[in-house]
Structure 1
Amino acid sequence: MSATIDPVAPSSVAPASAAARPPVAILLNPADDVAVACVELAAGQDSGINGVRPLTAVPRGHKFALHPIAAGKPVMKYGQMIGFARQDIAAGEHVHTQNLAMGETALQHEFCVDARDPVPVPAGQEASFMGYLRPDGRVGTRNYIAIVSSVNCSATVSRAVADHFNNKGGLDGFPNVDGVIALTHGGGCAMNTKAEGYRFLTRVLAGYATNPNVAGVVMIGLGCETNQIPAILEAHGLREGEFFRTMTIQNTGGTRATIAAAREAIEAMLPAVNAQVRTPQPVSGLTVALECGGSDGYSGITANPALGYAADLIVRHGGTAVLSETPEIYGAEHLLTRRAASPAVAQKLLDRIEWWRGYAERGEAELDNNPSHGNKVGGLTTILEKSLGAVAKGGASRLEAVYEYAEPITTHGFVFMDTPGYDPAAVTGQVAGGCNMVCFTTGRGSTSGFKPAPTIKIATNTPMFEHMRDDMDINCGGILTGEETIEQAGERMFRHILAVASGQKTLSEEFDYGDNEFVPWHVGAIM
């Protein structure tokens, strides 16, 4: 039995009837040279596709050839090229790193040909959620107070202040405050204030301080660091006030004095922050980060296209969906340029790809050095294959804008942010840009969270979901077995996003993840 799914332009998978058996393999596009195993296939087992039987065992999530492929010939999956045959490949042969490799590719970058206006939601059917309306008009899905460290030297003080409120009774009597976050990092000094790394760091710190999920801020520095607090405020238009306090350890009088002063500043904020209440808000108040990590061979078949469908629903209802991870759209960027709202948007995306080529070269790296070890164990072979699956998270909506790392996101609709593929650094940039929610797909079982933005974990396959049930919020494995369509899973995901935005806790929040995933992207020399 076979099923056809195109994750680049998601199509339905009909639910299996009671008498139907789930497929053992899937053909994603009629033009493909390979199929994907839904279960571990034994040598000689009928794949259900064109009478092909694997020559050897094929792990679940991995590929096998549907016909002979000559050495040097391109190999197609998703109807797109994912690499070249290293050697002659026989029909039924397991296709992976031993016989599939990257090669020179020349993508055709067409601009705007698939850009379409979002289909409006019929009047009276607009979705909403219960959120915190902030003075600037943005909407929070959580209600945190943040301690922002300007430099690594103030991290210990920042964590001590947060610990008092989170673990020693400092929040007793303030049930509407979700917590006090210590946003600490390993940089802030010995850096060039005219370089990219400095701009990225200050954007991140200012972005977290103004994220709509943050109702109050204390920014703490040492005093003598390169990353001076007054310069951050001036560069990003920030001002001290009742809910934005700053201090340095050296000016305040040392560690104990600064801890006491910061505690006092937060205690003064707590009554007003606690008085914030949720009210009905339109979906235009949502800015959702789309992320994937610990991907596997099913990511581009189940969870990613389902999240793409949910992202399209967010856009239709007036919200914003933010794709990122530039190294993990490399080789699939031509699919996004086709959807760009204007040639300038398409060109900006290509300019970021070009920047990455230079960045990788300076670091003696290659853009095609992905997938990771876990990705390969899960069935992904080349960065082209991984990128084609990853870009499916972006659905089919028009690409409205391209942002540099941690830039404030001001455009509604589907947008892209230039970030690394490293998940903590990528999501840190998205949250700094204003994301108040994170949707994170995973096939291997990533377990992180990203305070102050609640993080929904989405499993690509049922075995992993069952094995890691304490960590996975949503299972998309039913798409693989035919029990659910991409559209049905995406609609279910959209409703779950609204519930979490309204206050329902995610599993990563239950485990208190998010204190260690604040990772500003470090770029440039440390002197």
Structure 2
Amino acid sequence: MLDTPSGISPLIRLHPADNVSIARLTVDPAQTPVVDGIVVLDRIGQGHKIAMQPIARGAPVTKYGQTIGFARTDIAPGQHVHTHNLAMAELELRHEFCAGAEEPDFVAEAERARFMGFRRKDGRVGTRNFLAIVSSVNCSATVSKAAAAHFAPATGRLDAFPNVDGVIALTHGGGCAINTEAEGYSYLTRVLAGYATHPNVGAVLMIGLGCETNQIPLLLKRHGLEPGEAFRTLTIQTEGGTRATIASAIQAIEAMLPAMNAMERTSEPASHITLALECGGSDGYSGISANPALGFAADLLVRHGGTAVLAETPEIYGAEHLLTRRAATPAVAQKLLDRIEWWRDYATRGKAELNNNPSHGNKEGGLTTILEKSLGAVAKGGTSRLNAVYEYAEPIDQNGFVFMDTPGYDPVAVTGQVAGGCTIICFTTGRGSVSGFKPAPSLKLATNTPMYQRMRDDMDINCGTIVTGDETIEAAGQRIFEIILATASGEKTLSEIHDYGDNEFVPWQVGAVM
């Protein structure tokens, strides 16, 4: 028999209308011939789907009370439902605008949760205090990394500056051979400006080559930025080469560190937290455990005046009707649908399909179609009203629950969210994604206990307790919210303890590279 708590079914049926259930643990017909009155015909892996009733060929398969695809063949009760017998097809979704948009039940200001953060001159509050070396072009990446390496933790050169979390190099593969009027250039400069002015960044050194398309003076002018004591710039060709620029960069950083170290954490309301909601390496449990628990925590943050940012447009495809219902205004709902249409065109130009998803690992974990994946992914967004829709890396200026248009590829998606102002990340994963995202701390939320136990060095929070019936979604969500506050106050995530997060800065490259 399955090792499940007494009185807990080995299967999870998410909605009364569903014709499939999900296995809590692997169901083997040799050991468990009958479960919940159903004769088990196939081995059902953990997180995978089992038919609970006859499903005729061409009939919809339902999970979460929603269609996730159509039967390729007749499916009998007790059979495994997956890629071999479940197909994707276009759906005619009904997009109701603002039908479920309700004002959040805000917590009174005097009773709102607080955290210890770094208040900046513009009134925003950071959860970390990094010095960022921002390269304007790939050609200055080597110099930027060399300057940051001089202050690596192992050198001890930052020991005298306990309020400085580190010196990081934000390098990338672009910055030249692009049209300055093109979409991709706007994305890149928004990302660079967003990181340079991020609440988690106390000082900036921007380094260029000198002859690149992405000229530093033009970038600064475009985004209304000005150099100063805490925002310095260098170019390799002006300084006289790489070695000279590295020496100048080290000198500039040493001059900025004392002022950064003088910054101290102060008690701030949770309304200053902007939380990135991300999922990667998803499995069949993502939409059952970690995602809805994170959604509950996101709703709590919104009630306390904070901001939660859902993203990954290709991974809400097929579930966008659930978000348009929650839109604060028809214009917000329409902007979301406009971004979906942009993606249809973008995918066609790239000879791809929006339903060319889930990934190999997603499928091994039990996800079959993009509809199923999207319905689970949207759960990260909780139930709060959708107040705004942003294009990639646009500054987030609305509180509450908002959406940002990004790819589903995690490094690119989170780079856009952080550029927009997210100061902390909650990253749900069923397969075991391990990314860090300096300068924003990244909490990893495991969807299932076996993976959490196997990857304890990387997973911060176990939500597998929901799958086993040991914890409710609400209790797990409350626990996540409290960990968010502790992390925002300086408690290190596992990726920070291991000093991960230097390689996940990946601006979205869109358009022709000439």
Aligned partner of 1:348 in structure 2 is 335
| Aligned pair partner of 2:146 in 147, 160, 168 | 160
- The answer to whether 1:32 aligns with 2:18 is yes
**Structure-2 separation of matches of 1:367 and 1:54:** 34
Contact 2:120 2:199 in 1 (8 A): yes
- The answer to whether 1:521 aligns with 2:513 is no
Aligned partner of 2:259 in structure 1 is 272
- The answer to whether 1:185 aligns with 2:172 is yes
- The answer to whether 1:99 aligns with 2:85 is yes
| Aligned pair partner of 2:232 in 245, 259, 282 | 245
Aligned partner of 1:360 in structure 2 is 347
Contact 2:139 2:208 in 1 (8 A): yes
- The answer to whether 1:324 aligns with 2:303 is no
For 1:277-426, what aligned pairs fall within 5 Å after superposition?
277-426=264-413
Shift of 1:22: 3.6
**Structure-2 separation of matches of 1:172 and 1:470:** 25
| Aligned pair partner of 2:462 in 448, 455, 475 | 475
Shift of 1:46: 5.2
Shift of 1:48: 4.0
Secondary structure, counterpart of 1:131 in structure 2: strand
Secondary structure, counterpart of 1:165 in structure 2: coil
- The answer to whether 1:257 aligns with 2:268 is no
**Structure-2 separation of matches of 1:295 and 1:47:** 28
1:162-192 Cα distance to aligned partner (Å, 9 max, x none): 0001143331311110000100011111111
After superposition, the Cα gap between the structure-2 partners of 1:210 and 1:441, relative to the gap in structure 1 and judged at 3 Å, is: same
- The answer to whether 1:132 aligns with 2:122 is no
Structure 1: segments with no counterpart, 5+ residues: 3-15
What is the alpha-carbon root mean square deviation over aligned residues?
1.3
**Aligned positions, number:** 511
- The answer to whether 1:224 aligns with 2:211 is yes
After superposition, the Cα gap between the structure-2 partners of 1:97 and 1:232, relative to the gap in structure 1 and judged at 3 Å, is: same
**Structure-2 separation of matches of 1:218 and 1:313:** 36
Q: What residue identity is the alignment partner of 1:387?
A: S
Q: What residue identity is the alignment partner of 1:517?
A: E
| Aligned pair partner of 1:444 in 424, 428, 431 | 431
| Aligned pair partner of 1:195 in 179, 182, 191 | 182
Aligned partner of 2:130 in structure 1 is 144
Contact 1:23 1:481 in 2 (8 A): no
Secondary structure, counterpart of 2:38 in structure 1: coil
| Aligned pair partner of 2:105 in 119, 122, 136 | 119
| Aligned pair partner of 1:89 in 75, 88, 101 | 75
Contact 1:292 1:442 in 2 (8 A): yes
Shift of 1:242: 0.4
**Structure-2 separation of matches of 1:194 and 1:25:** 54
- The answer to whether 1:233 aligns with 2:223 is no
Secondary structure, counterpart of 1:215 in structure 2: strand
Aligned partner of 2:481 in structure 1 is 494
**Structure-2 separation of matches of 1:46 and 1:237:** 67
| Aligned pair partner of 1:64 in 32, 44, 50 | 50
Contact 2:208 2:234 in 1 (8 A): yes
**Structure-1 separation of matches of 2:410 and 2:217:** 30
1:400-434 Cα distance to aligned partner (Å, 9 max, x none): 00000000000000000000000000000000000
- TM-score, scaled to structure 1: 0.95
Contact 2:106 2:302 in 1 (8 A): no
Q: Which runs of 4+ in 1 moved over 6 A?
A: none
Contact 1:142 1:213 in 2 (8 A): yes
Secondary structure, counterpart of 1:369 in structure 2: coil
Q: What residue identity is the alignment partner of 1:303?
A: A
After superposition, the Cα gap between the structure-2 partners of 1:71 and 1:150, relative to the gap in structure 1 and judged at 3 Å, is: same
Q: What residue identity is the alignment partner of 2:24?
A: C
Structure 2: segments with no counterpart, 5+ residues: none
**Structure-1 separation of matches of 2:8 and 2:193:** 50
1:286-344 Cα distance to aligned partner (Å, 9 max, x none): 00000000000000000000000000000000000000000000000000000000000
Q: More deviation in 141-150 or 507-516?
A: 507-516
**Structure-1 separation of matches of 2:192 and 2:110:** 39
1:74-121 Cα distance to aligned partner (Å, 9 max, x none): 110000000010111111110000000101210000000000001021
| Aligned pair partner of 2:453 in 448, 453, 466 | 466
Contact 1:24 1:47 in 2 (8 A): no
Shift of 1:122: 4.1
**Structure-2 separation of matches of 1:306 and 1:120:** 19
Aligned partner of 1:73 in structure 2 is 59
- TM-score, scaled to structure 2: 0.98
Secondary structure, counterpart of 1:498 in structure 2: helix
1:458-513 Cα distance to aligned partner (Å, 9 max, x none): 00000000000110000011111111100000000000000000000000111111
After superposition, the Cα gap between the structure-2 partners of 1:222 and 1:21, relative to the gap in structure 1 and judged at 3 Å, is: same
Contact 1:406 1:429 in 2 (8 A): yes
1:238-291 Cα distance to aligned partner (Å, 9 max, x none): 000000001110011111111111111111110110011101000111000000
Aligned partner of 1:510 in structure 2 is 497
Secondary structure, counterpart of 2:151 in structure 1: helix
Secondary structure, counterpart of 1:247 in structure 2: strand
Contact 2:56 2:75 in 1 (8 A): yes
Contact 1:25 1:47 in 2 (8 A): no
**Structure-1 separation of matches of 2:472 and 2:400:** 24
**Structure-2 separation of matches of 1:386 and 1:79:** 14
